[in-house]
A and B are shown apart, each in its own frame.
Chain A
């Protein structure tokens, strides 16, 4: 810009203009500036009354969003003229202290746009039924005069059933009345129970924490009738399986304010500004406190902006980087130098000093089982669960010691007072190096970083104990990480620069793309900071590193870093896993209601991934066996076994739940046993032994084993989490599908029955409750209109902040919408009415797996696989196979039981994580608060007839919200640990949080044995602080955090210790084109094959909000795939071009977003952009003119390109921390190892 001086004269334009302007404004009310430049007026002009009116409102109501998000943000909902106008964040969170940033405000753009849904045209206002079904049902009912018979008439007739099933997803909804829709649903459930069994009924509703009452009411109905609630956390692949493996805990993480306590923070696979929007400020603010922030991310994401350093590791290679960092930390802080704090920490709080036997594999050894007290000659069953370490000070040359705190002390009567981490003066040897009588032996260790898995031989110091050659976990860990000491034999890296040997910094460089120098530097800094800050180095991790097939290994490699540096169980330190981790803080009250544990136990539960894998027939499409993932050192026990075979084994050994359970109706089995005068369990065992009875999972395609009724609420299964979406559509629903793979390449299982004709349309009823139209509602048979989160009472909590707060209705549910609470009660009443005639009271045999946090954990000691069917042991329920429990089902009473708190609460007590409390005073309190049921079967019991009653019950029955129960729980636990704990809750013993409290303001929770950290005295929550500070053991085999896992199958996969396993080779496994290939669709179609990743979106919480007009306006307005400018150039794609992404699983039509922030070779399709908004029809026609072509069908959503694959080790059960609990341990629905081929399509699209 050229500039002249103004010669000291200032003014405007020229004098003529100035005078004209003055003239033109002489009548103006305002005061013109003397220079005529601007006009000042005193405010409050009547002309601006519009904005004042606009701002005016009638009331503000506190509520929140019950979306599958850990935000749990409290919001102000503004109401004017009876209409919800907008929302804004509450700012009244109780303070967390004068020297910390507060939680206010919490929210994000997604939540801020929620009110749009209330009156939007995508709102479901009335009940709908698929037209083809309604017509058939009405005809049948008219003829048969009975809803149940009418339903049977439709679904049992293949022609009629096929007619409505094939119409699924293709429009044609008909509005119905509530009574009729509920009648159809009730009839379907009654018929299914009668004909096939209650275990053919399932409910899917995730994340109870995000609206506990709404979740619990549906789960309660499903549980009372004997249906199975499906797990979701593992199914979503959000469960970090490493957490149960290492910590013996589902997931427990710091609240976000604890990030502020960290002085070194690595964001590794978690894009905090996007996925933890309301919490991200703690990271930005902690930087001002001198926290260093390191981001590891393949793309330049929103979080990278905040990093002091960015390590752009290639997708899925993170474990290689972490292993190299572990190598540096072990070298520099344990071997070349020792950091006393680190050494003390790992000796007391980890399994590193424990002894592991070495199995001869001449001329070397392989790592075997933990040495136990039984090996030392101790008698009794618990001896096999007491692990052993080496006390060098004992006697003249040292001796083995089985310290307190291991699993053997947890449940056995004699363990009372000894389940603690007090080493009683013993200073265990971390290594046997330098101990008397040691020898150097070579152990064989697998490596998976090479084209074919290889074997390393590295030496460890070992000695004989009780006749067995043993070494320590620490010695094995150094061997695994390639950290050489003294003159140990074997092949070792020559230094950090050695690129040939795992796990040096130079070794990881070609794998990850991160420079060796950077890897070493960050590792050194991380540990140095931990040493200087007493453990305040933190790794924040999430979906980016947790949604892979081998994520458990990736996470173990991360956890190694925080455990070695003594950061776990410290405020400001340790792991911070943030994907899908939800924390229903009042867990005991919620689970009591949800699983109807007040009326009957146990509830039927099912592992989600296994359920869908079998139900959707994805198991038929695996062209490989489980051996594909095996270690080169494996015994071969998985050889020839497909994943379905592994599931069958895990089911019959009691590892995993298996629902539907048997190929018979469990009600009929119970009747039969009674007729025969036999014990029901024995009857089942006999049937299984003789082969008269089979597990349903052994023949998933037999019609008697199909799942029949599925209810989805608070969820969008088909538009969001359904990995292998097209398999769902074809096999489960019988709808049109774009599935391109055929099952004729599938490996035939050994034990599971293969039927040549794969079934389509297994499911008879898909019921959804929702307030908006999603893929799930589009494919449903019955859609019930749900109240939104601004139209009901409920409770919310999260692990991101320490408060419990309320949903409250800003308006009543409009049109014919109803709360989930109302809807399920209505269904239950209808069900009970039909059950009077068709079901009556029955007995049900429930097969229950060996459960975590119970004595079942000791059932299969040593993690040795013993198959009763192979004659390796006897079939003993609860020991070598599932427990078999008889449960009474009074079907006509279901509706009444729903609405009353049952007597088992005070009679048996409530147990969470092995700690039982007896809420007798609370039952009286609830009777007084909620009122007692006046008449009927439940007369005198506390009422649960209203949603507010349920909320009061949840709060009253949980330690986190009722100080009396927290204290009682701690006292119970004290008897087992022998350490002081009850003082943690003493300050709150008289505090009981009521629902009204949570409506008034978010209320801080109480320290409780339900969780592992402490909020006592107003401190920030960090997991496992009770373990480190009060010597309470972790819920693991050793009672310590585990580096080493000795189950047979862990050895089969070569994963006893943390190890790098690269992303799955989709070319080798499925014959997909290689990444970078340009001929994936034949030579004539310009195309490029890329890694296909589905991160969490900036513009939605899963599929919620992605259809919201505000979010669509701020984003690209529909399905989009992010692609690097380099890849886009290869196929001639410009920004916003229409492209098609194609692989064997399906086809996606989307817009391209071209960006240089993306690395070459990888595309992102942000998760859960549903097909309901703006998805065109497919153009790609691979079979022109032939039937079965996808051309002309609607494009798929992000999961059209994914599918399930089962990692066998996730099926392990019945052994210490590797035991089942719902959402706690089980195969993940991982999806990140996938690839796709992208092409530019015609820019003319058809809808």
Chain B
């Protein structure tokens, strides 16, 4: 056994209002700069829908994640890593800019500076890539609230997999929202895809990061990640991704997306797991078994043997304590209402989701059935607008049983709490029918409904001192100073955030710089910024 600790997240989709605040605060804090215009470390998708980038879940096309080869060994879907190395200059499985969207801005300046003219001035759209006039034809969130209709929504790759026929018609409408960040997987296929070994998983908290020094911009990780949560910065020529806000969580502050979530649906906490068991779990033959297999990797923080092992493994004391009161552990393991996103990708994702309840179809109402009445509870779940099969395609590789069980627990909680609310006698059978005690169901209610800040986010701060100590060890290279040869292309001070050209109508001075967004995948001139004092493009194979 190799015990490790990870900070993980659970999002309760049943509470997600689809407001996108998380996306905006994340973008403002991390990616509103040149080269990352199109990148949203956190995005929110309306489901059904194509997602961002378009149809990213279609792994037949994008070849993300892992699969099992003929011998039952885990292999990258995009081909063995050996093959990937050979194909390093011709990666056919990269999304194009149109699969994300062509970022744009407007000629706002015209509103003030327009000379006397024949009609009202307006700010017309301009491409952020070329600076030229453009037409807006796709965006970061194009099918929000089912915009696009059956013609667009019908291209949701998951719809094709749902056996029950789903009608995209007014009377049958359903939707819900899926906020997504990097999954910070236990078995990250992005890391496995990287020829430079630039992607790593932090030992102390499991956060998956791109080493900006080591990254050589091969973009194999973009293909390798089945969630398409690695982005190529076309200005620096490096890959970037969600950092789980490590500068924040290191000091005990929640990630930006969590703390600013006005739906109050995100939970952060520690999970202990056996790193040695990950490969076997990820290699579970049958896809339906991947969810239970991942549950099996997690270690019970209340088990004294686990605590002892954690101490032996050098997990700091407050991490062990935090693991014992982890809201994430409770939702994933104790109540089993949270489920992984696409376990069939075999990446062992660490951002889990409570599936959404949804309105009953009208037919049910008209027959006098009642979604809240205890007797009809389970029948009602079968009649939800969101097909359980669709949710199962997202969370359990198509196995409806765990989804159904999670939804039943939510429904049972509502039934039980309604009696409490009205001061009427509770029926212990309600909780029992979903395998929980009355106390447990009320504790789950507290966690999901009252959800105080301190209970949503249990982030040990021991990593702080540790990180600082290690920082001091690792930052000794004098060449890494400002302007030094060790400096990456990032120059945080020069960025000045809003003063970058993200706000300008046209990106001046980008000519000659390679751009992932319209790159043909072959020419690598300008892929990397020239080093000071040389005319070296840096992109050629060394």
Contacts and interface: CB of A to CB of B under 8 A. Distances in A.
B114 interface: yes
Nearest to B85: A20
A3 interface: yes
B365 A518 contact: yes
Contact of A288 (B275, B365, B414): B414
Contact of A37 (B25, B187, B260, B418): B187
Interface string B264-305: 100000000001101110110111000000000000000000
A7 interface: yes
B125 A300 contact: no
Contacts of B417: 288-290
A311 to B, nearest CB: 8
Contacts of A107: 21, 260, 262
A512 interface: no
Interface stretch (B321-329, B491-499, B516-524): B491-499
B114 A10 contact: no
Contact of B27 (A55, A1110, A1176): A1110
Interface string A274-292: 1001101100111111111
Given A86-B25, A109-B24, A1124 B108 contact: no
A41 B194 CA distance: 15
A329 to B, nearest CB: 18
B122 A1175 contact: yes
B396 interface: no
B237 interface: no
Given A281-B15, A1157-B173, A40 B112 contact: no
A305 B46 CA distance: 11
B152 interface: yes
B104 interface: yes
Given A285-B15, A289-B418, A1154-B149, A1117 B82 contact: no
Contacts of A122: 108, 111-112, 123
Nearest to B19: A277
B505 interface: yes
A403 B142 CA distance: 62
B366 to A, nearest CB: 5
B73 A12 contact: yes
Interface in B227-263: 243, 245-248, 250, 256, 259-263
B72 A1135 contact: no
A115 B28 contact: yes
Residue of B115, B168, B211, B248 with highest tally of chain A CB at under 10 A = B211
Interface residues of B, number: 171
Contact of A305 (B176, B207, B474): B176
Given A49-B475, A109-B21, A112-B21, A4 B420 contact: no
B529 interface: no
A14 B417 CA distance: 54
A777 B214 CA distance: 51
Given A81-B496, A108-B262, A517-B366, A39 B118 contact: no
Contacts of A1151: 136
A515 B275 CA distance: 57
A43 B463 contact: yes
A88 B356 contact: no
B263 A38 contact: no
Contacts of B540: none
A285 B16 CA distance: 11
Given A11-B74, A122-B108, A308-B371, A1109 B503 contact: yes
Contact of B144 (A55, A87, A1098, A1172): A1098
Interface string B521-535: 000000000000000
Nearest to A6: B72
B29 A55 contact: yes
Interface in A12-58: 12-14, 16-17, 20-21, 24-25, 28, 30-31, 33-35, 37-56
Given A263-B421, A288-B445, A1157-B175, A38 B81 contact: no
A20 B212 CA distance: 23
A894 to B, nearest CB: 31
Which of B14, B72, B358 counts the most chain A CB atoms within 10 A? B72
A31 B471 CA distance: 17
A454 interface: no
Contacts of B466: 42
A5 interface: yes
A169 interface: yes
A171 B115 contact: yes
A1174 B421 CA distance: 51
Interface of B is mostly: mixed
A778 B121 contact: yes
A302 B145 contact: yes
A349 interface: no
Contacts of B204: 42-43
B414 A290 contact: yes
Interface string B144-156: 1111111111000
B202 interface: yes
B5 to A, nearest CB: 12
Contacts of A1192: 118-119
A4 B283 CA distance: 11
B413 interface: yes
Contacts of A274: 19
Contacts of B187: 37-38
Nearest to A10: B283
A864 interface: no
A172 B117 contact: yes
Nearest to B106: A1173
Contacts of A295: 359
Given A6-B285, A12-B75, A43-B463, A88 B260 contact: yes
A86 B414 contact: no
A1158 interface: yes
Given A91-B453, A121-B109, A38 B146 contact: no
A180 interface: no
B495 to A, nearest CB: 7
Given A109-B19, A290-B414, A1118 B125 contact: yes
B118 A45 contact: no
Contact of A1135 (B23, B151, B173): B151
A121 B175 CA distance: 37
Nearest to A15: B73
Contacts of A6: 68, 71-73, 283, 285
Interface string A996-1021: 00000000000000000000000000
Interface stretch (A95-103, A376-384, A580-588, A658-666): A95-103
Contacts of B357: 287
A1191 to B, nearest CB: 11
Contacts of B21: 107-109, 112, 277
A307 interface: yes
B28 A83 contact: no
Interface string A401-438: 00000000000000000000000000000000000000
A48 B287 contact: no
Given A290-B418, A1122-B147, A14 B262 contact: no
A521 B365 CA distance: 8
A571 to B, nearest CB: 13
Nearest to B416: A290
B283 A39 contact: no
Given A6-B283, A43-B203, A1156-B173, A101 B451 contact: yes
A305 B202 contact: no
A118 B498 contact: yes
A991 to B, nearest CB: 26
A38 B201 contact: yes
5 contacts: A17-B80, A46-B475, A47-B211, A88-B25, A773-B111
Given A52-B247, A89-B262, 19 more contacts: A10-B72, A10-B279, A11-B74, A13-B73, A33-B279, A43-B470, A47-B488, A104-B453, A107-B21, A108-B21, A120-B498, A122-B108, A171-B116, A285-B264, A285-B448, A775-B120, A1098-B19, A1155-B145, A1174-B106
